[in-house]
Amino acid sequence: MGLMERTQAALAKMFPQPASAAPPPAGEENQEAPPREQGILAVDPARHGCHLDVLCGPGQVVEVARTLDREGYFLEAISGVDWPDKGQFEVIYDYNRLGGEHCRVMVRALVDRGEPVVPTISGVFPAADWHERETFDFYGIHFQGHPNLIRILLPEDADFHPLRKDYMP
């Protein structure tokens, strides 16, 4: 069993109704498919740059991080995305392996734009500390349980979140 299959199997335990109900072939655009609630999708790394696309609820990000930590992954980055039309923020966690067999995992979680709260994973990966602060800085997404959730790149007296799509300087 390859690393990707092993990771997929480890993560699948978290999703009682896995995406295997109707998995589109690897690499196919998933835009046309009906929106997924959650689950794991294998995607074409040559096209999208990652092997697994995991969509989970905000409550599951810590468990996903713990699973990937056990599998020897490291956290590469956390990004926020603003979707004002859907009234949601998206938090994207990029995981990768330091050497050995290569596998990239993209974990996405959607949160309500009005009350954006996601639990912190800085307890699992200290790397998340600064990345979460940055996402808070730019989007105003609160990472619950973060030990030091203050601005990191913008001045400490800034009262705006510049990467929100409705931000006007």
Partner 1 sequence: MTVPVHLRHDETFVLNLGPQHPATHGVLRVKLTMDGEYIVKAEPVLGYIHRMHEKLAEGGTFAQFMPNTARMDYLHALAFNHGWALVVEKAAGIEVPERAEYIRVITVELNRIASHLLWWAAFLLDLGGFTPLLYAFDDREKIVDLLERVTGSRLTYCYLRFGGVYNDIDDEFIAGTRDFIKRLRGRMPRLYHDLVTHNIILIKRIKDIGFVSAEQCRRYGATGPVARGSGIDYDIRKNEPYSVYPEFDFDVPVFDECDSMARYMVRMHEIEQSMRIIEQALDKLPAGPVMGKAPKVLKPEAGYYYSAVETARGSLGHRLVCNGDKNPYKLKLRSPTFSNLSLFGEVAEGMLLADALAFMGSLDLVIPEIDR
Nearer to partner 1, 8 or 135 (CB): 135
Nearer to partner 1, 119 or 134 (CB): 134
Instruction: Please tell me whether residue 154 binds partner 1 under the rule CB under 8 A.
Output: yes
**Strand 117-119 with 52-56, pairing:** unpaired
Region of 6-14, 18-26, 71-79, 112-120 interacting with partner 1 (CB under 8 A): 71-79
Instruction: Please tell me whether residue 33 binds partner 1 under the rule CB under 8 A.
Output: no
Measure the CA–CA gap between 73 and 114, rounded to whole angstroms: 32
- C-alpha atoms less than 13 angstroms from C-alpha of 141 in its C-beta half-sphere: 29
Residue 12 CB, nearest approach to partner 1 (Å): 21
Region of 3-11, 16-24, 113-121, 150-158 interacting with partner 1 (CB under 8 A): 150-158
Instruction: Please tell me whether residue 50 binds partner 1 under the rule CB under 8 A.
Output: yes
Q: Which of 132, 106, 95, 107 is nearest to 117 (CA)?
A: 132
**Strand 117-119 with 142-144, pairing:** parallel
Among 14, 48, 62, 88, binds partner 1 (CB under 8 A): 48
Q: Which of 139, 58, 72 is nearest to 105 (CA)?
A: 72
Instruction: Please tell me whether residue 4 binds partner 1 under the rule CB under 8 A.
Output: no
